[in-house]
């Protein structure tokens, strides 16, 4: 093939691939199979390799990501990215519109109603049609530079079509396709990797990758619904923006409504609710915005939000289904947890066949019986839970549930300590407990050994390759190669992850050991008060219970754990394997200073970073993070979709702060 012929074919392939990208990511209506797409992509890559002079920065092949980022630089938004006031009440939506009428008397006020995409807010700047940068919302004024990661999103044009404005700052959401999320989690489960909780968290984690090539493997899309600075085009109304975005090749909100009264607004909200499940991305509400930019200017802003917009959030969807059985799950500390086995039912975007029931007392309180028609919802549209029973539909054949007298996994008699809700199996060698302990030890919050998911651990325990956590460090390529679905590359990655875990800080090891009653907060406190694991192992109950976040019950549990010879043997094997037993945090709390030192925090809702990362920021500055709100709590850091902890904070008068306020304290 000549260079001229190759150049023609390259342009043709790029055009085809970009069109298929739009159909797949933007329109959710692909016209070719994944295999056919891959063949087009491979042909383009081969031609560019043969004729390197044809490679351009905006080619689809250049979206695989650049060099790993050392850190995220900061970008100042040309105009602030403010968050919206939100409500779950239709009456408050009506009050919002009536307030507009009072502020703009004798004016016709048209609003636009559009889906509230459940993704990660971003701002992109195009200069003369070329993408210059992409940034997260951050604190509204300054965000992280995620340009390299955003460039990997295939539906996003790196160069705008047609005649673009001189300057265009567009705002929108990066999201993960519903079916792409399901496929990604299935692949991770098959590989033994931990699954993502929901598409939004998976998206946030993808955009925060330091290696853009990882972001490039994630099924991300982007949708735009607003602007910051615009130069070179005159827009009078928000509704005019959608056509401009489409003309420029930018993915835009595909369905929106115009309304000029409370009734029309509510009708649009209801109509959106009936069709939003069919969208390619997750939505959790509707956004109502004044259409006229001139009227928006008249209305202005509060310190945090525009007066011309509000977000209405849909209540969690509830469905009814049959409860076929209540099965028992055995946890890492031997706790027996009842789980509802349901007639599969579709709720909040996925099919659910299991749901949490918490404990025997909760089942009795709700009077849940096997055979009942039960009401199920997803807490935060993520975790399925049985929230009620249709007692009026009972036939009389329903059966009351009783906790078993013996562990279903090993047959050992179970015990229930006086004053405790939990029923426990006390056989430390119970195979269910062994599996859970190893999963816990390897989990992200503990030793963070990527790849040690449920499927892999089950195989390791069943084949008796791993009997306790120390056995993890005796695994070899030959042993791992015996397992199903472990190729040469996955084995190599597992061994690398195991080796990396040896340098984790001491508090993670303490937490990973799975000592009864010792959570993250207590683990951090112990690492801050003992110079190494030996000092902790030899501490008396009196010494332990003097430590904040430990106390008498936890102190006794720690002492009992280290008095057990089998546990000490495991620790000696961990020492021999080269794990970090020295504390990097010893004495740091005493040396800490600033606004956070000595304060107690509870973190709730969805934030821009994982909660454990934010907890690290707090504890590094002398604060502590707990799991429940009490009168001793100084601050509740509340993100989006904060639930019962936020309500309790309000009841107790505990100060609630936003992530922006938290960042300012840092």
Q: How many CB atoms lie within 10 A of CB 234?
A: 7
Q: What share of the chain is helix, strand, coil (3-state, %, to 5)?
A: 40, 25, 35
Mean pLDDT value across residues 449-478: 93
Active-site residue, 116 included: yes
Element (H, E) at 638: strand 635-638
At 419 the pLDDT is: 67
At 41 the pLDDT is: 80
Two tokens at 35?
């295999």
pLDDT band of 181, cuts 50, 70, 90: confident
At 84 the pLDDT is: 84
CB burial string 391-412: b at 16+ within 10 A, e below: eeeeeeebeebeeeeebebbeb
Check 116, 178, 378, 645 and give the catalytic one.
116
Q: For the purposes of burial, counting CB atoms within 10 Å of the CB of 558, is it exposed (0-12), middle (13-18) or buried (19 or more)?
A: buried
At 473 the pLDDT is: 97
Mean pLDDT value across residues 325-345: 91
At 172 the pLDDT is: 95
Residue 35 pLDDT > 70: no
Rounded (10°) CA dihedral 629, 635, 641, 643: 20
Residue 64 pLDDT > 70: no
Average pLDDT, the chain: 87
Mean pLDDT value across residues 458-487: 92
Q: Which domains does the chain have, with CATH numbers?
A: 3-62 (1.10.287.610), 74-313 (3.30.470.30), 318-394 (2.40.50.140), 592-665 (3.40.50.10190)
pLDDT band of 70, cuts 50, 70, 90: low
At 402 the pLDDT is: 92
CA 285 to chain centre: 18
Q: Which residues contact 563 (CB under 8 A, 6 or more apart)?
A: none
CA distance 154 to 26: 10
> What is the per-residue pLDDT across 253-305, written as a single tens digit (0 to 9) for each?
889 999 999 999 999 999 999 888 788 888 889 999 999 999 999 999 875 67
At 68 the pLDDT is: 45
Mean pLDDT value across residues 51-55: 89
> What is the per-residue pLDDT across 406-437, written as a single tens digit (0 to 9) for each?
999 999 999 987 767 788 898 988 999 999 99
> What is the per-residue pLDDT across 585-638, written as a single tens digit (0 to 9) for each?
786 654 445 678 788 899 988 787 777 778 877 876 778 888 778 888 999 999
At 65 the pLDDT is: 46
At 590 the pLDDT is: 45
> What is the per-residue pLDDT across 112-162, written as a single tens digit (0 to 9) for each?
999 999 888 999 999 999 999 999 888 788 888 999 999 999 889 999 998
Two tokens at 2?
């000549």
Beta carbons of 225 and 253 less than 8 angstroms apart: yes
Is the pTM here over 0.75, yes or no?
A: no
CA distance 82 to 74: 17
Mean pLDDT value across residues 636-663: 85
Which percentage of the chain shows pLDDT scores above 70? 92
* Structure-model confidence comparison of residues 588 and 384, the more confident one: 384
pLDDT band of 71, cuts 50, 70, 90: low
At 63 the pLDDT is: 61
Beta carbons of 448 and 510 less than 8 angstroms apart: no
At 491 the pLDDT is: 92
> What is the per-residue pLDDT across 523-555, written as a single tens digit (0 to 9) for each?
888 998 999 999 999 999 999 988 876 878 889
Residue 23 pLDDT > 80: no
- The torsion angles phi and psi of 124, rounded to 5 degrees, stand at -120, 140
Residue 580 pLDDT > 70: yes
Mean pLDDT value across residues 642-662: 85
């Amino acid at each position: 093939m000549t260079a001229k012929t190759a150049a023609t074919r390259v342009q043709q392939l790029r055009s085809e691939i970009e069109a298929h990208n739009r159909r797949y990511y933007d329109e959710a209506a692909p016209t070719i199979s994944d295999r056919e797409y891959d063949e087009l992509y491979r042909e383009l890559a081969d031609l560019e390799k043969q004729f390197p002079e044809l490679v351009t920065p905006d080619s689809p092949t250049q979206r695989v990501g650049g060099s790993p980022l050392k850190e995220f630089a900061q970008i100042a938004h040309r105009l602030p990215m403010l968050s919206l006031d939100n409500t779950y009440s239709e009456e408050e939506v009506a009050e919002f519109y009536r307030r507009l009428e009072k502020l703009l008397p004798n004016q016709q006020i048209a609003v636009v109603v559009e889906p509230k995409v459940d993704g990660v807010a971003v701002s992109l700047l195009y200069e003369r049609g070329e993408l210059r940068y992409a940034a997260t919302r951050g604190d509204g004024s300054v965000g992280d530079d995620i340009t390299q990661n955003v460039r990997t999103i295939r539906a996003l044009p790196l160069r705008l079509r047609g005649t673009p404005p001189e300057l265009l700052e567009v705002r929108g959401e990066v999201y993960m396709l519903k079916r792409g999320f399901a496929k990604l989690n299935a692949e991770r489960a098959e590989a033994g990797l931990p699954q993502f909780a929901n598409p939004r968290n998976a998206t946030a984690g993808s955009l925060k990758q330091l290696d853009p090539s990882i972001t490039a493997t994630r099924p991300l899309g982007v949708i735009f619904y607003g602007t910051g600075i615009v130069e070179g085009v005159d827009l009078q109304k928000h509704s005019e923006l959608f056509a401009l975005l489409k003309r420029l090749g930018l993915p835009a909100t595909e369905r929106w409504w115009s309304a000029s009264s409370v009734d029309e607004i509510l009708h649009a909200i209801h109509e959106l609710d009936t069709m939003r499940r069919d969208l390619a991305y997750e939505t959790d509400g509707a956004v109502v915005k004044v259409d006229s930019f001139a009227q928006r200017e008249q209305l202005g802003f509060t310190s945090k939000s525009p007066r011309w917009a509000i977000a209405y959030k849909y209540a969690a969807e509830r469905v009814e289904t049959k409860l076929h059985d209540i099965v028992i799950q055995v946890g890492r500390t031997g706790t027996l947890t009842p789980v509802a086995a349901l007639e599969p039912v579709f709720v909040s975007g996925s099919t659910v066949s299991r749901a949490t029931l918490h404990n025997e007392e909760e089942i009795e309180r709700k009077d849940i019986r096997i055979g009942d028609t039960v009401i199920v919802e997803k807490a935060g549209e993520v975790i399925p839970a049985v929230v009620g029973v249709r007692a009026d539909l009972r036939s009389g054949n329903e059966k009351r549930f009783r906790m078993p007298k013996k562990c279903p996994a090993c047959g050992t008699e179970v015990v229930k300590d006086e004053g405790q809700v939990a029923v426990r199996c006390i056989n430390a060698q119970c195979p269910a407990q062994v599996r859970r302990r190893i999963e816990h030890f390897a989990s992200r919050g503990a030793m963070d050994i990527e790849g040690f998911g449920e499927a892999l651990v089950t195989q390791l325990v069943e084949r008796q390759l791993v009997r306790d956590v120390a056995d993890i460090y005796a695994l070899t390529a030959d042993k791992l190669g015996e397992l199903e679905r472990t190729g040469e590359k996955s084995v190599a990655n597992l061994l690398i992850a195991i080796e990396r875990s040896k340098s984790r800080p001491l508090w993670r090891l303490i937490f990973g050991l799975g000592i009864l009653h010792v959570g993250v907060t207590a683990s951090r406190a112990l690492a801050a008060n003992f110079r190494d694991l030996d000092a902790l192992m030899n501490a008396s109950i009196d010494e332990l219970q003097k430590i904040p976040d430990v106390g008498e019950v936890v102190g006794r549990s720690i002492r009992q754990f280290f008095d057990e010879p089998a546990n000490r043997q495991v620790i000696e094997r961990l020492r021999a394997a080269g794990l970090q037993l020295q504390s990097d945090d010893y004495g740091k709390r005493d040396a800490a200073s600033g606004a956070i030192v000595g304060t107690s925090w509870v973190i709730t809702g969805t934030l821009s970073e994982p909660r454990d990362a934010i907890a690290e920021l707090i504890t590094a500055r002398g604060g502590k993070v707990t799991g429940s709100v009490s009168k001793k709590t100084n601050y509740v850091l509340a993100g989006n979709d904060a639930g019962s902890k936020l309500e309790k904070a309000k009841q107790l008068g505990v100060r609630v702060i936003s992530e922006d306020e938290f960042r300012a304290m840092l």
